[in-house]
Every structure is written in structure tokens, then in C-alpha cells.
Amino acid sequence: MSGNIDVNEVSGKSFYFIVAGGGIPQKWNSNTKFAWNRMGFAGINFMWWTKSPKQIWERFRNPGWNCNNFQAAVKEIEGYLYAVTHGLDFQGWDIRTNGGDYLVWSRFDDDQAGLPKAPVPISGNPRGAFFTPKTIDHKRYTRSYSMTAFYFPHTHRPNLKVLTRAYVTKLVTSVQSTLTATGVEFTHGGKTFVVNASKEVVLCAGYSSCQVLVGVMFLSLSEYLSNLSLLGLAKMYRKTCSGISFELKDDVKDITLDALRDPEARKEQVELHKKAEGAFTPMSAISDRIKDVYALAKKKVQDEWDTYSPGLQEQYKIQLERLEDPSSSPGELVLVPGFLSHPNPPKPGKKYFTIILCLNHDFSRGYLSSDPNESPECDPQCIQLDADLQTFVKITKFLADWLKATMVTIYHTAGSLSMLPKDKDGVVDPNLKVYVTTNFYVADLSIMSLHLAPHTLTTAYAISTLKIAVVPKE
Ligand SMILES: Cc1cc2nc3c(=O)[nH]c(=O)nc-3n(C[C@H](O)[C@H](O)[C@H](O)COP(=O)(O)OP(=O)(O)OC[C@H]3O[C@@H](n4cnc5c(N)ncnc54)[C@H](O)[C@@H]3O)c2cc1C
């Protein structure tokens, strides 16, 4: 939604990510700048549809927020199409295969590149190798995302009005014993408007939600600051990755994404597309010295325990439990047919194969600015903690200096408005209601206090469905 965006711009190192404005130099990553944009991540993401391991939901200890309810919520919106697969068998998978309105194209294969096959990758156990389903509208062979799947089919509804290029600037409230949202102020076409709310207000501005809540709502209501710990606000969790591209021999027949760099070939592929013509893994499978790295992480966290806020202690408690769990997957390898790395640019006419290596459970934490007059500035602070860098070194088997220079973020921002108990820096309760308010809710990824391990879109979608369908009203 912000205007300051050039999708094709090359930002020094992270050239394949969207660029918006400046970015804060990252002192742990050779001063690389990672820039965030506010246009909505679902519309620009890589369309990988992945789900979290079963056990992690239970660790959050939030009533109603468990794997069964998550699966039920996602089942409402997904449907798998397996026409192009090689004898795919969904037996024992808790998923819908006959499709609803919102289909996810899925292509699976038996070739696991030597890694053990994930038993039920999208039904609670993604540990192992699997082909990642994509969010594709199978009727049009185009990207399927929140606008095409949830908005376009409902534009005729008389009670639904969506206004683009409208920016929330203020929450209109009435303050009695608690705070009640009575409306939202926003700007549109240079004018300021207020829309009244008779029932409730739901904030879902993604990583900007924190800014809207802190900046717009609470800074102007200082009496409420004492009721709500600000320590947990603006602290943000995100995922880190690094790509390594291999040049393929000229006689490789398969088409890779590299074809899209040539304008003529791109045109041809777009036409073909109209006609319709990844993997999580346990660290022990990659390095037998990973136990030493985990011990390092544990010692660091234990040594500094008293300096952490209650919310961060709660997060680290869950993370340390995960390290002890042999079924957890702190790392992820994504195999991409095409060039998706840096710093060396791809050569014209060549084909590539890229391995993207991701950290699933970074210990480092970032920050979001909360000045309501500015676009939120995001400081991800990747690999601030040495344990993260050492884990990364084990995954990539490359040198730390190379990683510091080439690492990028994968933009899975979460945790800035955590669903935790109030005394643990929580901002929303299990009903997604902001503490000390009567009718103000947050329904986006910022409520997840920890990263769940997979890519975040399924969780972002499930959060809204969980609020409406599963979590009992007070
Ligand atoms: C380059 C990239 C690739 C990714 N790839 C994948 C992937 O392959 N698979 C996956 O699962 N996840 C992926 N993700 C992450 C995933 O897309 C996001 O985690 C998810 O979309 C977040 O959903 P959200 O609802 O929390 O926020 P968003 O999708 O960001 O939605 C927030 C909305 O609020 C609007 N907004 C913000 N501030 C205001 C304001 N003041 N007033 C009015 N509106 C406002 C924004 O314009 C936006 O439309 C990727 C992300 C990026 C950036």
C-alpha cells in the first residue's frame, strides 16, 4: 500500500526481494540493509504453502490454539489438486482433496534427493523431504492469495466495502472503566474520514499492526500505558535465510526459473502458463556437531536470563524445549530450479539450481519503530546472537564471514503483539482481544509470540478463521 516501492529494484545484496525505502544497516551482517514494504506480503510472496509441526502449537499454552483447531481452520480454505502427480496417495493425511473455492495446487514426487520422506508434511509432521504445495488458482493458473480467494468472490455483498489507498491514522475510542473502540479514522485521497464501529474493530495490518496499536492508540492514551506492559510490544521475530546457486551444465534440458530473465522467453512462458501446462529437516541429519551449538545457545540464554523481559523468557523457554526435542526441525532447505542468491549476478543464458538454507528458530530478536507519523522502520537484527550464526554455519557448511555478507531475511515477521498472558508481556488474549479494551482485536501474524517453523501464510490465514470459528467467545 505504500507508494515507495519498486518491485524490480536491485538493493545491493538482497536483489530478489522487494525494496521499499532505506532499511537499517545490520551490524552483524556486514551492514546489509533489509527493507520492508507495507503493500501486503500475501500478494508478493513465493506461494509456498507449508504447515507447522503438530507439537509446537501445544507449547504456546493458549486455550483453543492447538494443532487440531489449526488444521480444521486451514481445511476451510484449502483444497488439493493432484492431477499432475505421480500416483500420489493422501491416505492418512488430514486434508481436503476435493477442493473448495480456494484451491492449492500441489505437486508431489517420489524423488527425495536422498533425504527421508516427510510422513505427513501438511498434516502435522513436515520433518523430511517433500514437494511444497503452491497457492495457485487452478482455474486461471494465476496466483491465489487473500484478494483473489477471499475478496473477489464476495464483492457483491452489500455489507462489504473495501477501500484501497486508505491509511488508518487513528482509533476513535470512548474511555470509561475500560477502552472501547467506536470507530477508525483514516485518510483517503488527501481527505480524512471516520468510519463508525458499533460492534468491534479488528486490526490486521501485518507487521504495521504494532505501529498502529502503539503509535495510534496507546501513545495518545497515556493512562492506559500503566495497564499494559510495553516491553513486549515492538519486539519482533523473523526468519533468516541464505541462498547458494549452482550453475547447471548447458545440456540440462529442464526449464528453470532463469528463463524468466529473458524477455522473449518470459513472454512465451506467460502464454504457456495461461494454458495450464522444498523440505524441512532435523539438524542431526546435517551435522553431528549440532549438539555443541545448541549447548552454546542454551548457556548464553541461561547466563543472561535475568536481563530478559518476562515475554522473552517465555519465548526462550519454548525454544529451549524445542532444542531438546529430537523431532524438531530448526533448519530448512528449499530447493529452487533457478537463480535465487547473491552476491554474484547470474550469467545471461545460463540455468541454475539454488539451495536456500533457512534458520527456523533464530534466538536473535528484531525491533519495530512505533512512530505513528512514519512508515514503521524494521530492524531485524539477524544473527545478533552467535548461536544463530553457528547454527547457520552448520547448515550451510560455509564460512561465517561469507554468511554475514550474503544472508538475507525471509520476512516472516511475527511476535510484535504477542498472544501471551498479560504478566508475560502479552498484548492480546486467546480471543485476540487487546487487553484492557472491550472490543478491539488483532488478527494477523503479529499475535504469534514465536515463529512456528514453516512459512507463515497458512498461519496468517488460520488466525482469522480461528478467531471466527474455533475460539469460544467470552
Ligand atoms: C518476499 C516474501 C516472500 C514470502 N514468501 C512466503 C511463502 O512462499 N510462503 C509463506 O507461507 N509465506 C511467505 N511470506 C510471508 C507471508 O506472506 C506473510 O507472513 C503473510 O502474508 C503475513 O500476513 P499478514 O496478514 O500478517 O500481513 P500482510 O499480508 O502484510 O497484510 C497486512 C495488510 O495491512 C495493510 N496495512 C498496513 N498498515 C496499514 C495502515 N496503517 N492502514 C491500512 N492498511 C494498512 C497492508 O497494506 C497489507 O495489505 C513471504 C513474505 C515476503 C515479503
Is residue 216 situated within a structural domain? no
| Per-residue model confidence (pLDDT) at position 192 | 94
Taking the centre of ligand 1 as the mean of its atom positions, its distance from the CA of residue 206, in whole angstroms, is 6
Q: Are 320 and 292 in contact (CB under 8 A)?
A: no
d(CA 131, CA 416): 31
| 17 located within any domain | yes
Q: Please say whether the beta carbons of 385 and 297 come within 8 A.
A: yes
How far is the C-alpha of 51 from the C-alpha of 458, rounded, in Å?
6
| 292: Cβ contacts below 8 Å, ≥ 6 apart | none
Answer whether 45 contacts ligand 1 (Cβ < 6 A).
yes
Phi and psi (nearest 5°) for 201?
A: -120, 130
Calculate the alpha carbon distances from 54 to 47, 68, 122, 274 in Å: 22, 8, 10, 37
In this structure, the residue with its CA closest to atom 50 of ligand 1 is 45
Euclidean distance between CA atoms 188 and 168, whole angstroms? 9
Q: Is the four-CA dihedral 141, 147, 151, 155 of positive or negative sign? A: negative
Q: Is 455 a catalytic site residue?
A: yes
Helix/strand/coil percent split, the chain, to 5:
30, 20, 50
* Ligand 1 centroid, distance to 417 Cα (angstroms): 15
Q: Give the atom of ligand 1 at the shortest distance from the alpha carbon of 50.
A: 11
Nearest protein CA to atom 30 of ligand 1, as residue:
40
**Domain at 376, CATH number:** 3.30.560
66 close to 58: Cβ distance less than 8 angstroms: yes
SS3 260: helix
Give the distance from CA 104 to its chain's centroid. Answer: 18
Question: Do the Cβ atoms of 107 and 81 come closer than 8 Å?
Answer: no
pLDDT at 55: 73
Residue nearest to atom 43 of ligand 1 (CA): 167
Which ligand 1 atom sits closest to the C-alpha of 166?
Answer: 43
d(CA 430, CA 471): 8
| Integer CA distances (angstroms), 421 to 202, 228, 372, 387, 418, in order | 20, 11, 26, 28, 9
Domain count, the chain: 1
Does residue 210 lie within any of the structural domains? Answer: no
| CA–CA separation, 87 and 315 (whole Å) | 42
- For residue 179, what is the enclosing H or E element? strand 179-188
Query: Is the distance from the beta carbon of residue 460 to the nearest atom of ligand 1 less than 6 Å?
Result: yes
Q: Ligand 1 in contact with 452 (CB < 6 A)? A: no
Regarding the beta carbon of 278 and ligand 1, being less than 6 Å apart is answered: no
Q: How do beta strands 408-409 and 25-26 pair?
A: unpaired
With a 6 Å cutoff on the Cβ, whether 457 touches ligand 1 is yes
User: Ligand 1 pocket, 47 CB below 6 A?
Assistant: yes
Q: Looking at the CA of residue 457, tell me the nearest atom of ligand 1.
A: 11
Query: Ligand 1 centroid to 321 CA: how many Å?
Result: 29
Q: Using CA positions, which residue lies closest to atom 45 of ligand 1?
A: 205
Residue bearing cell 526468519 = 239
Could you tell me if the CB of 258 is within 6 A of ligand 1? no
Does 215 map to a domain? no
Question: How much is the pLDDT for 375?
Answer: 65
In the annotated binding site, the residues are: 168
Ligand 1 center–CA 38 separation, angstroms: 8
Residue-range definition of the domain harbouring residue 447: 5-156+233-470
Contact 127, 325 (CB under 8 A): no
Contacts of 421 by beta carbon, 8 Å cutoff, 6+ apart: none
Q: Is residue 163 part of a domain?
A: no
For the Cβ of 216 lying below 6 angstroms from any atom of ligand 1, the answer is no
Planar angle of CA 360, 362, 366, nearest 5 degrees: 125
Instruction: Give the three-class secondary structure for 148.
Output: helix
Cα 360 from Cα 435, distance rounded (Å): 29
Q: What is the DSSP letter of 125?
A: B
Other Cβ atoms within 10 Å of 357 Cβ, number? 21
The yes-or-no answer on residue 412 being catalytic is yes
3-state secondary structure of 353: strand
Binding-site residues for FAD sit at 168
DSSP codes, 302-344: HHTGGGS-HHHHHHHHHHHHHHH-TT---EEEEEESS----SS
Cell of 235: 519486539
Domain contains 170:
no
Active-site residue identified among 342, 361, 412, 451:
412
In angstroms, the CA 453 to CA 318 distance is: 13
ipTM of the complex: 0.95
pLDDT digits (tens, 9 = 90+) for 138-155: 777 778 888 888 888 899
Cα dihedral sign, 93-96-99-104: negative
Q: Is 182 helix (H, G, I), strand (E, B) or coil?
A: strand
143 in a structural domain:
yes
**Residue given cell 510422513 in the structure block:** 119
Residue 31: inside a domain: yes
Do you know the residue count of the chain?
Answer: 474
Give the Cα separation of 161 and 154 in Å (integer). 10
Identify the pLDDT of residue 7: 28
Task: Match 545484496 to its residue by C-alpha cell.
Answer: 13
Q: Within 35-100, where are the H helices?
A: 54-59, 67-75
Long-range CB pairs of 433-436, under 8 A, 24+ apart, other chains included: 433/474, 434/213, 435/227, 435/228, 436/178, 436/179, 436/224, 436/227, 436/228
| Regions of the chain with pLDDT less than 50 | 1-21, 83-87, 105-108, 219-234, 278, 469-474
